[in-house]
Structure 1
Amino acid sequence: MKEYKWEVGTMYVDRNAFKECVTSYAVHSGRGIWFSKCDSHRCKAVCKEGCKWFAYCHKMKREDSWQLTSCYKKHTCSKATKIGIMSSQWLSKAFMKKICENPKIKLRSLIKKAHSKWNVDLTMTKAARVKQQALDEINGTYGEQYRRIHDYAAELLRSNPGSTVQIQVERPPEFELETPPPGTDLRPQFQRIYICLEACKRSFMTPYGGQLLTAIGWDPNDQILPIAYAVVEAETKDSWRWFLLNLCDDLGVDKIRWCTFMSDQQKVTLNLNLCN
């Protein structure tokens, strides 16, 4: 984005797309750009006083798209460490992945990251606002996923006939009232889900027995999730080695080297040289 080429005739989906492009360019190039005009039909970005750089975008007739109609590409100013148009909303998108991986990240870490990556100054107040906006967006995404949990259950039953999926929700006490108080949120909240796949049921109902080996992960959000499982003839050194070698192939040996394994104290998992 630092070397972004401004070309007359470039099309943008809407005004916000143009503004976001200008903001990204300003942050990455370290220029004190601001919007001198911005309404429903035109948007002009200029650099600080004394610099001739500008970019003028106009809304197309009978369309929602916008087009860059004129610009001056060269800067005659020095770089800035305070970018006025670098909004907390833009920063929250830029830091979204980092905050998603570590929701407990410290504000000073965000400030240092902004300074090392873009050489811009970020206050504690703005860093807090950026983090909160990113967390709100992340949690909103999670909420949307929970709203589709019945779709997930239906897809499991469709693709795995004979399986069992039970969803239990929690409703507020006012739900039982014939006329609940106005403004009461009566939407159900997810409480628990039970899943038993038909193929897994059949495998444990055979007369041949077997053991279940599982690999469970623990992510940065302190959430536990299944990674892989296998049904084997018995829990032996050979079966564990076979299972873990397959896990290495899937996750990659380089990543496995940095993993910490916690077992249920089964001695067969000790001294397994997985790298050979």
Structure 2
Amino acid sequence: MEGGNYWTVQKFKEDYSCTIDDLHNCHRQASAWLAGEILSPKLVVSDRSLKPNEIMDDKQVTKTLRVKGLVEQNIFGLPDLSYQLLHAYCHELKRANHGIVTTIKKDADKKFEYLFIAFNASLVGFQTAISLAICIDATHLKGRFGGVIFIAACEDANNQVFPLAYGWGDAECEDSWTWFLKELKKAIGCPTNCIIISDRSPAIKVAMTKEYPEIPDDLCGFHMNMNLKNKFKSHVLYNLFHDSFKGTSTNRVLGKDLQRIIGLQEVTHYKYIIHSRQLQSSASSSSQYLL
């Protein structure tokens, strides 16, 4: 404006006239830190995870991954600090949930190793109204420090998954499974007529022998069916075995279905199934939970 320190835009053209030839190797670009600061508020509002391809628009993948990491760091903090808050987290859980069971185990260097959590509502429900068939499994984490999440679950009267307990560990090995089952035994004891269903990995076998030698460790029908499919490459056997367990409630019915497998002239299949943890003896009490 005339006589002043202000000016106004009279005309604006949206056409971009600069070409890529004007750029050079030292051309200044937005850093991953700046992009992370800009995208953090959007992620908080949308309440969802951020994928690299949602950020990337003719940008390097490495920078995109750095941006993603910085966005998550700005929102959730450093993973190292999260582990330092575990004791405070468990304290708040106990303060808000009466009767909850929480246990943290550290290694020789006083660093986090295992965590076990079981809510009181789950423990009471298991003792009063939940079927005594416990399914245990673990899944791997993809964070900076890796590790696994352990889970123990049952089935309620509505045929819905009923979480019983869960925990964290460094790896799915004999020591971690033994510790998890030991804490689970402290929380629920050793109920009579109880069975534990798993994929029967070598680590679980050893842990069950140490902590629950008196409870049958049965093989999950889904895992067994996949093992049959991978071992014998037979879709006919896969479908036949699946149908034999769908709705099976007695040894007599299961025996007839296994005889049909023998009718395929595949005695090896029959021996493999029978060898898998005395399948017939467990079918009468747990077949409805195996698939």
Under TM normalisation by the shorter chain, which class is it? Answer: 0.3 to 0.5
| Structure with higher helix content | 2
| Structure with higher strand content | 1
TM-score by length of 2: 0.34
TM-score by length of 1: 0.36
